[in-house]
């Protein structure tokens, strides 16, 4: 029998984290939850720890340490708190795979720790690749840490190139188009967070759901694809596909296109990132070809969804530009959810921040940390005007 893989989940209380625990629960002989972490939802983290009995749990918000420790006092589980503890626990010798299911720039430091410790990375936290893809790739090579994509599109691309020895001619990156796919510019100016949080096909965390509505999520996925698959941006074509059945595709030199299809269910790419190169049995829904009526494809509209064009522009500028865009986006994404700005303020604030923050061509990790802070301050100042 194959060895049971020991998994650390960074962000076990989130959408990806809880689905990863379902995958682990389906295959107790193959996977174990070794480390679970969360930001502040200590009650849910304690419940998960009771059920999966990991060796350690980390709560990033230090204010939640005591209630969490007390809730687990009768169990043989180490309890830690703080952002530094996240970076330390992933280095444990016992850990085989680190699932990065935290949201935002905060996922970068623990992902770097895990790579430096040579762990296999199941990458959900796309912000890591958006901010620092070049640096992450260099570290992953240096420390022989394989990076397996969890993002459904990148998993589809990965699955489509298995066994190929020839280069990719083009990546076809599919996008649902989000809840506002058919909205006019006038309509977009007045949409509310509640409307934006109703995604047609996927049930995800709040931040990525807003990013899907602006299509910044797809812009970030273009950047993620460039770094994961070493394909230049002009060979990455975004195609709007409202049904989210074709999860993405790859075209080769002879014109052949390979795609991966399935029911929209994140547990499939999560499980594959854990079990690769094997595929394991699953109880998840199968595609029904006769209720699926039609699969449709459209051009994305960067007039109505400028965030997609901003992401391509950030890639073209290179250096710390994608880091700036990510930071500004985190600020305005939250501001929109808190009704401190309008939907159309999102792209305007990001574009202006991208133009204002000092450009650095070959950023170090410290440069990324400084850029992130500067871009947040600048975006905040624009919102407070």
* Residues binding Mg ion (CB under 5 A): 151-153
- Distance separating alpha carbons of residues 62 and 81, to the nearest angstrom: 5
CB nearer to ligand NAD: give 60 or 135.
Answer: 60
In the complex, the smallest distance separating the C-beta of residue 164 from Mg ion, rounded to whole angstroms, is 22
**Of the candidate residues 42, 111, 151, 241, the single one contacting ligand NAD (CB under 6 A):** 151
Residue 225 in the binding site for ligand NAD (CB under 6 A): no
Angstrom distances, CA of residue 270 to CA of 84, 94, 197, 267, 275 = 26, 20, 23, 5, 9
**Residue 205 lies near ligand NAD (rule: CB under 6 A):** yes
Separation in Å, CA 183 to CA 137, 218, 272, 301, 347: 38, 18, 36, 11, 16
**160 touches which of ligand NAD, Mg ion, none (CB within 5 to 8 A by kind)?**
none
Output the smallest distance, CB 255 to ligand NAD, in A: 30
Q: Look up residue 138 and give its two tokens.
A: 């260099």
- Partner in contact with 124, chosen from Mg ion, ligand NAD, none, beta carbon below 5 to 8 Å by kind: ligand NAD
CA distance 365 to 249: 33
Chosen residue from 85, 102, 215, 236 binding ligand NAD by CB under 6 A: 102
Cα–Cα distance measured from residue 49 to residue 71, given in angstroms and rounded to the nearest whole number: 10
- Decide which of ligand NAD, Mg ion, none touches 250; Cβ closer than 5 to 8 Å per partner kind: none
* Binding positions for ligand NAD, 304-363, rule CB under 6 A: none
**Contact of residue 125 among ligand NAD, Mg ion, none (CB under 5-8 Å per partner type):** ligand NAD
Nearer to ligand NAD, 259 or 356 (CB): 259
What does 13 bind: Mg ion, ligand NAD, none (CB cut-off 5 to 8 Å by kind)?
A: ligand NAD
Q: Is 146 in the site for ligand NAD (CB under 6 A)?
A: no
State yes or no: cis peptide before 200, omega within 30 of 0. no
Kindly state whether residue 89 participates in binding ligand NAD, applying the rule CB under 6 A: no
DSSP-H helix ranges across 106-166: 108-116, 126-142, 152-161
Q: What are phi and psi of 247, to 5 degrees?
A: -80, -15
Contact call for residues 246 and 296 (beta carbons, < 8 A): no
d(CA 290, CA 122): 33
- In the complex with ligand NAD, the residue whose CB is nearer, 164 or 203, is 203
15 binds ligand NAD (CB under 6 A): yes
By CB under 6 A, name the one of 103, 270, 314, 346 that touches ligand NAD.
103
- 342 CB contacts (<8 Å, ≥6 apart)? 189, 190, 336
Residue 300 contacts residue 175 (beta carbons within 8 Å):
yes
Q: Is 127 in the site for ligand NAD (CB under 6 A)?
A: yes
Dig out the tokens for 177 from the structure: 């188009």
C-alpha 135/C-alpha 292 separation (Å) is: 42
- Give yes or no for residue 213 binding ligand NAD (CB under 6 A): no
> Among 124, 231, 307, 335, which residue interacts with ligand NAD (rule: CB under 6 A)?
124
Interacting residue with ligand NAD among 13, 159, 244, 275 (CB under 6 A) = 13
Q: Is 174 a binder of ligand NAD (CB under 6 A)?
A: no
Q: Taking CB within 5 to 8 Å according to partner kind, which of Mg ion, ligand NAD, none is near residue 367?
A: none
Least separation in angstroms between CB 149 and ligand NAD: 9
User: DSSP of 247-290, one letter per residue?
Assistant: EEEEEETTS-EEEEE--S-THHHHHHHHHTTS-----SPPP-TT
Q: Which window, 35-43, 172-180, 328-336, 361-369, contacts ligand NAD (CB under 6 A)?
A: 35-43
Buried residues in 100-120 as b, exposed as e (16+ CB within 10 A): bbbbbbbbbbbbbbbbbbebb
Contact positions toward ligand NAD, by CB under 6 A? 11-17, 38-39, 41, 60, 101-103, 106, 124-127, 151, 202, 204-205, 207-208, 266
């Amino acid at each position: 029998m194959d060895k049971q893989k020991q998994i650390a989940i960074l962000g076990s209380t989130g959408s990806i984290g809880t689905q990863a625990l379902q995958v682990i629960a389906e295959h107790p002989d193959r996977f174990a939850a070794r480390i679970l972490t969360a930001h502040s939802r200590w009650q849910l983290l304690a419940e998960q720890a009771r059920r999966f009995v990991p060796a350690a749990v980390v709560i990033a918000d230090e204010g939640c340490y005591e209630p969490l420790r007390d809730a687990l006092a009768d169990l043989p589980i180490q309890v830690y708190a703080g952002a530094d503890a996240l970076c330390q626990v992933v280095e444990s010798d016992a850990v085989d795979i680190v699932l990065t299911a935290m949201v935002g720039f905060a996922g970068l430091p623990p992902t770097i720790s895990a790579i430096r410790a040579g762990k296999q990375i199941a990458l959900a936290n796309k912000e890591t690749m958006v901010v620092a893809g070049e640096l992450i790739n260099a570290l992953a090579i240096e420390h022989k840490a394989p990076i397996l994509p969890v993002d459904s599109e990148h998993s589809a691309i990965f699955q489509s190139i298995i066994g190929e020895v020839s280069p990719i001619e083009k990546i076809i990156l599919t996008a649902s188009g989000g809840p506002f796919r058919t909205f006019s510019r006038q309509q977009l100016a007045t949409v509310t967070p509640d409307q934006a949080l109703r995604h047609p096909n996927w049930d995800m965390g709040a931040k990525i759901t807003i990013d899907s509505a602006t299509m910044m999520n797809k812009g970030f996925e273009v950047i993620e694809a460039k770094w994961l698959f070493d394909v230049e941006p002009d060979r990455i074509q975004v195609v709007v596909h409202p049904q989210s059945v074709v999860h993405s595709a790859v075209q080769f030199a002879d014109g052949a296109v390979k795609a991966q299809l399935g029911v929209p269910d994140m547990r499939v790419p999560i499980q594959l990132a854990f079990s690769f190169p094997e595929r394991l049995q699953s109880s998840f829904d199968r595609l029904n070809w006769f209720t699926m009526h039609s699969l449709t494809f459209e051009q994305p509209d960067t007039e109505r969804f400028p965030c997609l064009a901003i992401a391509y522009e950030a890639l073209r500028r290179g250096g710390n530009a994608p880091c700036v865009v990510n930071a500004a986006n985190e600020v305005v994404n939250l501001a929109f959810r808190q009704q401190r700005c309008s939907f159309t303020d999102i792209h305007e604030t990001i574009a202006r921040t991208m133009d204002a923050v000092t450009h650095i061509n070959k950023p170090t990790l410290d440069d990324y940390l400084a850029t992130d802070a500067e871009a947040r301050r600048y975006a905040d100042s624009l919102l407070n005007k």
